Structure 1
Amino acid sequence: MTATLPRVDTAPAAAVKRRRRSLGWVAVVPLLAFTAVAFGLPAWAVLDGAFTVKSTGAYSTANLTASWQGAYLTALLGSVKLSAVSAALATLLGLPLAQAVVTSRHRALREAVLTASGVLANFGGVPLAFAFVATLGNAGVLTRHLGLTDKGWDLYSFWGLVVVYLYFLIPLMVLTITPALEGLRVQWREAAQNNGATNAQYWLHVALPVLLPTLLGGFVLLFGSAFAAYATATAIVGSSVPLITLQIADALSGNVLVGQENVALALSLDMVLVAGLVMAVYLPLQRRSARWLA
């Protein structure tokens, strides 16, 4: 006589699962609606205006073509140059500072540095510009005390703006690279030392190859942060240094030419494309770094 197992009805369980999934979508609807209104509508307005000729109302690529010529192209290249130089210097300076924080035996000092980095990484705009003008401007405290003007220092220049950007980019790099430095295995250093490797060889052949995706990802993140900065630059250099964010503001306000609002939208679209390229590079690097340091 064969025993018959009782039949388990999976229909109620499947129904409960479907109900939970539908409730999950309902809970996400407010977020999707907010995203569509806060980001979707402005993105559509930029896209529509960038391809619309203001005088005729017809769709054309004339605005995009104008944004890649003359002063607009110079401003775009100037922003790329400023962002690349600032991000590269912040990456080089932030790595040893983060390593010193990670290897510090004083927990209070480490927490203080990381907390300060979190604050300084978000400190920008007009307050930061005023602080630097009061400190390193033509009549700044340090400028007069150290005679920096006679030595060729000029805050209101390309390199002056780089120094200002480093004030918030270096702390951002410290926050970005610290988790990766903490993920380096102690066994890797011990294995390298057991095989006769020096500290420099360990960093050159073991640590830096592992950290390279995170370093490149941090550089890309810093580049995007510097590329999008506006208030600090406009408060310090005005129009003396060509930057795309300043050109967009001038075109929208009619400061130089009247009726260039749609060209400003085309410039904004150029920035979106650059930001998209930045994120396309950043996300794969972050995934690769997480795979090594997991």
Structure 2
Amino acid sequence: MFLVLPIAVLSVEAFRVTDPVTFEDAWSAANLGTITDGAYRRAYVGSLQLSAITAVLGAALGLALAVAVLRARRGRLLRRLVLTASGVLANFGGVPLAFAFIATIGNAGVVTALLTDTLGWGGFSLYSMAGLALVYLYFLVPLMVLTITPALEALRPQWREAADNLGASGWQYWRYVGGPVLAPPVLGATMLLFASAFAAYATARALVGSSIPLVTLQIADALSSNVVVGSENLGKALALGMVVLIGLVMAFYAWVQRRTQRWLA
């Protein structure tokens, strides 16, 4: 009910339009047409671009880190430390994370001031799409490590030994054995990172405000009537669009997870 009831309310309220003068409600599909044009369309595109970029980068970096940890000589202790740290960092977000980056590499941050004084460097802006992507990677990479480590551990050593006995090279093993087995979990984890980045709000709000077009920020402005008086239902239509997109992503993630369980069973 905690999931179905809010979605049902959004599905109904998204088709209600409030007159900004008389404040009378009427049933209409105008909200759905509005969110696909103008600033709202740019907000969806901005959120999709940011989520796709951070999801791909987070998946690549997290996969590389997980593989390096599992291959380390002192893998048991290092793996325990990395997984513990990843569990903490994957849930560290919102205003504290934004403040930490502002105090570190913001315009007046400690590291920025040090690099500016010593090297004369000051070309990176934290309050941009690239800066926001960097902050998102701080919690997406640990989330990827937590998600992909069980799949890496499920690769059986006998498969590599059999490939070596048959004369396969390392590239051939990953091309025909390890790669196809890991492809579903890696793809599923990437979808999970995409959904997490797409739904993030507090970090972006505290870091860039409304200077970057993101759909979560547009929803907050609409619900608080900062754009147009009586635009609460427009915010609900934007939220319904997010629910639909996230639902499609998570449905694909569930399908990939079923394939993963079949491969690794």
Pick the TM interval, shorter chain: over 0.9
Q: Which amino acid in structure 2 is aligned with residue 189 of structure 1?
A: R
With normalisation by structure 2, the TM-score equals: 0.93
| TM superposition shift of 1:255 | 1.7
**Structure 1 pair 140/51, CA: closer, same or farther in 2 (3 Å)?**
same
Distance 2:187 2:120 in 1: 36
Question: Which segment drifts farther, 175-184 or 137-146?
Answer: 137-146
How far is 1:54 from its partner? 1.6
Which residue pairs with 2:91 in the alignment?
122
Partner residue, 1:290: 261
One-letter amino acid matched to 2:94: G
Offset, 1:151:
4.9
Matched positions, count: 258
Q: Which residue of 1 aligns with 2:60?
A: 92
Check conservation: 2:69, 2:79, Cα contact below 8 A. Answer: yes
Deviation at 1:204, TM superposition (A): 2.5
Q: String of CA shifts for 1:185-204, please: whole Å, max 9, x gaps.
A: 11111122122222233223
Does the CA-based 8 Å contact 1:177-1:215 persist in structure 2?
A: yes
Are the aligned partners of 2:54 and 2:197 in contact in 1 as well (CA < 8 Å)? yes
Q: Which moved more, 1:81-90 or 1:91-100?
A: 91-100
Within the alignment, does 1:243 sit opposite 2:214 as a pair? yes
* TM-score normalised by the chain length of structure 1: 0.84
Stretch moving more, 79-88 or 247-256: 247-256
1:122 maps to amino acid? N
Amino acid of the structure 1 residue aligned with 2:168: A
Deviation at 1:152, TM superposition (A): 2.1
Counterpart position of 1:225: 196
Aligned to 2:40: 72
For the residue of structure 2 that corresponds to 1:139, the secondary structure is coil
Work out the percentage of aligned pairs sharing the same amino acid.
62
2:25 aligned counterpart, secondary structure? coil
Residue deviations 1:268-292 (CA, integer Å, cap 9, x gap)? 0000000111111100100101111
Alpha-carbon distance in 1 for matches of 2:234, 2:53: 27
CA contact (8 A) 1:138 1:155 kept: yes
SS at match of 2:227: coil
Contact 1:143 1:149 in 2 (8 A): no
- SS across alignment from 1:58: strand
Q: Paired residue for 2:160?
A: 189
| Residues 187 and 256, structure 2, Cα contact 8 Å, conserved in 1 | yes
Counterparts of 1:269 and 1:209, CA distance in 2: 35
Q: Judge conservation of contact 1:234–1:246 (CA < 8 Å) in 2.
A: yes
Unpaired segments ≥5 residues, structure 2: none
Aligned equivalents of 1:237 and 1:255: distance in 2?
17
CA contact (8 A) 2:89 2:139 kept: yes
Which residue does the alignment assign to 1:215? 186
1:51 aligns with 2:20: no
Structure 1 gap segments, 5+ residues each? 1-35
Tell me the CA shift for residue 44 of structure 1: 2.3
Aligned-pair CA distance for 1:149:
7.9
SS at match of 1:219: helix
Q: Partner amino acid for 1:53?
A: V
Bigger radius of gyration, 1 or 2? 1
Please report the RMSD computed on the Cα atoms of aligned residues, expressed in angstroms: 1.4
- Give the structure 1 partner of residue 107 of structure 2: 138
